[in-house]
Amino acid sequence: MTETRFEDRLAELHGRIAAAAGRSGRPAGAVRLIGASKTVPAVRLSAAVAAGLADLGENRVQEAEEKIPVVVPRPRWHLIGHLQSNKARRAAALFDCIQTVDSARLGLALDRHLAELDRPAPLDVLVEVNVSGEAAKHGAAPGDALALVASLRRDCPRLVVRGLMTVGPLVAEPDLARPAYRLLASLARSAGLHELSMGMSGDFEVAIEEGATMVRVGSALFGARG
């Protein structure tokens, strides 16, 4: 069987995103496709960016350090994996957006390191919320999310809180993730935030229907990974 070309997978995904956005009463351009690029070699990522993929998301700081300098043309890089405070300085130097800020301590560490690094512009961040309550997932509890957003806005002037992020619940059918995504959207409205990063390869259309402005797609874009 001939493998589907990346350009064809990208076009198909853009079509599915546009259709889901339309069902939520929004234009296709309201949703940003982030290629979840964990374990994908840098040479493939450069080709993906050349084909029109503008955003890439990495899970690990160490892997990102190897890829970011060599992927050209440079995309917008997102950290979409858990970040420990002891790696905050390295992350602050690398990424355009950190989507997994889940504590005031981590926010303060990032803010401090940005000052030390003398970055010319504020760093975009999202607050990660564990909407499913699953013990294996990271993120602030839904009841703590608004207070964390307020704390970051007050105490971290070098960070710009753009929105909320979550890893959806492990469910048998995509529709079963809707309540979690609706909760995240409700929290974002309460905080006056516009960005919602939610949805992956298996359920991104449901997430878009519930208000996602960013979807993190790996296997449906790059193929299965080991």
The model's pLDDT over 193-215, given as tens digits with 9 standing for 90+, comes to 999 999 999 999 999 999 999 99
Please, are residues 209 and 196 in contact by the beta-carbon 8 Å criterion?
no
CA triplet 83, 77, 24: central angle to 5 degrees?
95
* Residue 164 forms part of a structural domain: yes
The pLDDT, as a whole number, for residue 1 is 37
What CATH code is carried by the domain that includes residue 75?
3.20.20.10
Q: What is the mean pLDDT of each run of 10 residues along the chain (226 residues)?
A: 78 97 97 98 97 98 98 97 97 98 98 91 96 93 98 97 96 95 98 98 97 97 81
* Residue 42 forms part of a structural domain: yes
The pLDDT, as a whole number, for residue 117 is 94
The pLDDT, as a whole number, for residue 101 is 98
Number of domains the chain is built from = 1
* Residue 1 forms part of a structural domain: no
* Residue 226 forms part of a structural domain: no
The pLDDT, as a whole number, for residue 4 is 75
The pLDDT, as a whole number, for residue 190 is 98
Which three-class secondary structure string do you get for the chain? CCCCCHHHHHHHHHHHHHHHHHHCCCCHHHCEEEEECCCCCHHHHHHHHHCCCCEEEECCHHHHHHHCCCCCCCCEEEECCCCCHHHHHHHHHHCCEEEEECCHHHHHHHHHHHHHHCCCCCEEEEEEECCCCCCCCCCECHHHHHHHHHHHHHHCCCEEEEEEECCCCCCCCHHHHHHHHHHHHHHHHHHCCCEEECCCCCCHHHHHHCCCCEEEECHHHHCCCC
* Residue 107 forms part of a structural domain: yes
The pLDDT, as a whole number, for residue 3 is 60
* Residue 138 forms part of a structural domain: yes
Segments forming the whole domain that contains residue 65:
6-220
